[in-house]
């Protein structure tokens, strides 16, 4: 579904052994893990590392096998220097795990990997090397097989970020400081950026007039939406724009493998291009290419990370408006008793959410606010058309964002919840969201820490993986919706 813009993780496993322990202990335990792991593409490196020479051989072997992520397995205590140098010499994320005892006697069959993991982490720290260490990194073959499965989405996101280019067409709209994006944080993460003007995009768009591929894209749009759910006369304009973005991505990747866009979509866009770009944006994100609204660079980055982690498409929404009490009393209370009024809010954008995540009545419509501003009062919508509107379908969600603040520091938040099966009675791509303790989270994280109104949405509970990704990327401030018994530092205890 997400196409080739998301990495495919090819895992390798390397066992290490301290030379005063039986090497067979590590080798046998490594084989048990491979047998227990039922995922795809786990390459078993035949070299068991005892020294630096072994380390070089093992790293060369997994590279030759095409591995882009590694499991470094301490089958016994492990050699501190060679095992940590694997992370230095391998260009990809490395997970460090250790064997639990119990598969042999505690004389000749004891490996002391529980102890070895301490020195391994200490050595990684001294060398300023990054290693992914699970919450409890010691286990049986079955335990470690599960750790590997949990490592895959984390590794996929890390690989993606390190090979990502964000392409922008801006600048951001006037007075839209929510989309301010210090690029220092991007470079710290290893993300490349290419900044262009909206005029560059217009020139490229005009060059795609009468592109012979346009009819096929129009046909695909009609098939996706269904009859009566789109404007037939508008499809050619939007198809031309879709091809413009896809070609730009391919021609401007440069040395990077993956791309994301952050595009300006108002106020000049509709009058110059002749439509709103939202529906096209939704189609690209369905293929794994985020196109963030309003030149929201960190929104695009957040979306991309969410796709890598969830293996599914995502969206970018405004944390937009409160739910009216009358709606809560009538449609939510009694049906969703886990939530209070302040746990709920509406997430909205003009029309960029993928059609597959919306209710069946979704359709390509027009942007009501832009129509008021750009077209004569009482006229039929024309250039304001192109939004994908309707209620967002009920599902589990994770609301999250990675941001670089005004001081150049990376920070993030993660909150799990759900989209409720409640009609919104409003316009745009919109849904009623519920997140436990949202009111407190809104005040003491989103408002207190100066987050913008845009948040990325993954359509599953993936907070566990996002937390590990942000931690691995070096983000020190990872906020979440804390329960009542865990007050925020700025929360008034007397309220």
What does the domain layout of the chain look like in residue ranges?
3-160, 163-480
DSSP 8-class letter at 49: B
Taking only the tens place, the pLDDT of each residue in 324-345 is 999 999 999 999 999 999 999 9
- CA separation (Å) from 432 to 27, 345, 346, 367, 398? 53, 6, 5, 20, 14
Q: What is the pLDDT of residue 41?
A: 79
Sheet (strand 94-99) strand order: 42-44, 11-16, 69-74, 94-99, 138-139
Q: Which residues pair with 364 in a beta bridge?
A: 388
pLDDT given at position 495? 85
Mean pLDDT of 442-459: 97
Residue 38, pLDDT above cutoff 90: no
Q: What are the structure tokens assigned to 64, written together? A: 């030759």
Using a 10 angstrom Cβ sphere, with 0-12 exposed, 13-18 middle and 19 or more buried, the burial of residue 335 is exposed
pLDDT category, 48, cuts 50, 70, 90? very high
Task: Could you list the beta-strand ranges (E) of 405-488.
Answer: 410-419, 429-434, 454-458, 477-480
pLDDT bucket at 1, cuts 50 / 70 / 90: low
In sequence order, the 6+-apart residues with CB closer than 8 A to the CB of 460 are 310, 312, 395, 396, 397, 398
pLDDT at position 176: 77
Q: What is the pTM of this model?
A: 0.97
CA distance 369 to 358: 21
Q: 3-state DSSP helix/strand/coil percent for the chain, to nearest 5?
A: 40, 20, 40
pLDDT, residue 179, reads 77
**Cα–Cα distance between 231 and 366 in angstroms, integer?**
10
Q: Which helix (H) or strand (E) holds 303?
A: helix 297-310
Q: Average of pLDDT values for 488-493? A: 94
Instruction: For residue 396, list its beta bridge partners.
Output: 418
DSSP H or E stretch at residue 464: helix 463-472
Q: Mapping DSSP to helix (H, G, I), strand (E, B) and coil, where does residue 234 land?
A: coil
Give percent above pLDDT 70 in the chain.
Answer: 100
- Work out the average pLDDT over 66-95: 97
Structure tokens given for 465:
């993986």
**What is the pairing mode between strands 192-197 and 258-263?**
unpaired
Q: What is the pLDDT of residue 306?
A: 98
| Span 205-249, pLDDT tens digits | 999 999 999 999 999 999 999 999 999 999 999 999 999 999 999
Least confident of 193-202, 373-382, 388-397: 373-382
Helix (H, G, I), strand (E, B), or coil: what is residue 438? helix
Cα–Cα dist 132/154, whole Å: 9
How far is it, in rounded angstroms, from Cα 492 to Cα 484? 12
Nearest-angstrom CA–CA distance, 116 and 1:
42
Q: What token pair was written down for 409?
A: 């520091």
pLDDT of residue 320: 97
Q: How many CB atoms sit inside 10 A of residue 377's CB?
A: 6
Whether the pLDDT of residue 103 is over 70: the answer is yes
Rounded Cα gap, residues 213 and 8, in angstroms:
29
Judged against a pLDDT cut of 70, whether residue 73 lies above it is answered with yes
- Is residue 398 within 8 Å of residue 458, measured between CB atoms? yes
- Judge contact between 141 and 102, C-beta under 8 A: no
**pLDDT by residue (tens digit) across 415-436?**
999 999 999 999 999 999 999 9
Mean pLDDT value across residues 151-156:
98
Mean pLDDT of the chain: 96
CATH number attached to the domain at 3-160: 3.40.50.10940
CB 351 within 8 A of CB 278: yes
Q: Output 180 or 212, whichever has higher pLDDT.
A: 212
């Amino acid at each position: 579904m997400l196409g080739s813009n998301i990495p495919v993780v090819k895992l390798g496993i390397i066992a290490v052994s301290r030379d005063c322990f039986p090497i067979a202990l590590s080798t046998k335990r490594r084989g048990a893990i491979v047998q227990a792991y039922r995922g795809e593409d786990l390459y078993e490196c035949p070299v068991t590392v005892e020294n630096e020479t072994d380390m070089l051989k093992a790293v060369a072997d997994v590279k030759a096998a095409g591995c882009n992520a590694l499991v470094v397995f301490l089958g016994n205590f492990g050699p501190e220097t060679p095992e940590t140098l694997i992370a230095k010499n391998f260009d990809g994320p490395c997970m460090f795990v250790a064997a639990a005892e119990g598969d042999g006697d505690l004389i000749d069959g004891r490996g002391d990997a529980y102890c070895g993991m301490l020195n391994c982490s200490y050595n990684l720290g001294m060398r300023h090397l990054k290693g992914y260490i699970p919450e409890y990194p010691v286990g049986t073959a079955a335990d470690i097989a599960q750790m590997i499965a949990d490592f895959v989405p984390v590794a996929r996101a890390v690989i993606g970020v390190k090979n990502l280019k964000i392409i922008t067409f801006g600048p951001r709209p006037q007075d839209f400081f929510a989309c301010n994006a210090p690029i220092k944080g991007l470079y710290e993460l290893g993300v490349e950026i290419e900044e262009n003007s909206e005029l560059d995009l217009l020139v490229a768009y005009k060059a795609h007039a009468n592109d012979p591929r346009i009819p096929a894209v129009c046909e695909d749009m009609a098939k996706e939406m269904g009859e009566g759910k789109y404007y037939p006369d508008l499809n050619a304009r939007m198809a031309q724009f879709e091809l413009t973005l896809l070609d730009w991505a391919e021609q401007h990747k440069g040395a990077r493998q993956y791309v994301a866009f952050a595009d300006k979509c108002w106020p000049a866009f509709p009058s110059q291009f002749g439509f709103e770009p939202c529906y096209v944006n939704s189609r690209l994100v369905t293929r794994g290419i985020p196109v963030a609204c309003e030149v929201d660079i960190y929104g695009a980055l957040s979306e991309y990370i969410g796709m890598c982690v969830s293996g599914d498409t995502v969206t970018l929404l405004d944390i937009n408006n409160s739910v009216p009490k009358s709606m809560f009393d009538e449609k939510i209370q009694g049906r969703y008793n886990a939530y209070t009024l302040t746990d709920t809010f509406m997430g909205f954008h003009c029309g960029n959410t993928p059609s597959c995540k919306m209710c069946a009545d979704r359709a390509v419509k027009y942007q009501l606010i832009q129509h008021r501003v750009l077209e004569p009062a009482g006229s039929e919508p024309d250039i304001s058309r192109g939004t994908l509107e309707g209620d967002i379908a009920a599902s589990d969600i994770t609301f999250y964002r990675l941001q670089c603040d005004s001081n150049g520091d990376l920070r993030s938040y993660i909150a799990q919840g759900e989209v409720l099966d409640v009609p919104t009675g409003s316009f745009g791509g919109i849904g009623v969201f519920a997140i436990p303790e949202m009111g407190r989270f809104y005040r003491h994280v989103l408002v207190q820490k100066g987050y913008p109104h845009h948040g990325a949405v993954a359509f599953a509970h993936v907070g566990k993986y996002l937390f590990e990704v942000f931690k691995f990327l070096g983000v020190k401030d990872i906020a979440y919706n804390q329960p009542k018994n865990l007050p925020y530092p700025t929360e008034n205890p007397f309220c």
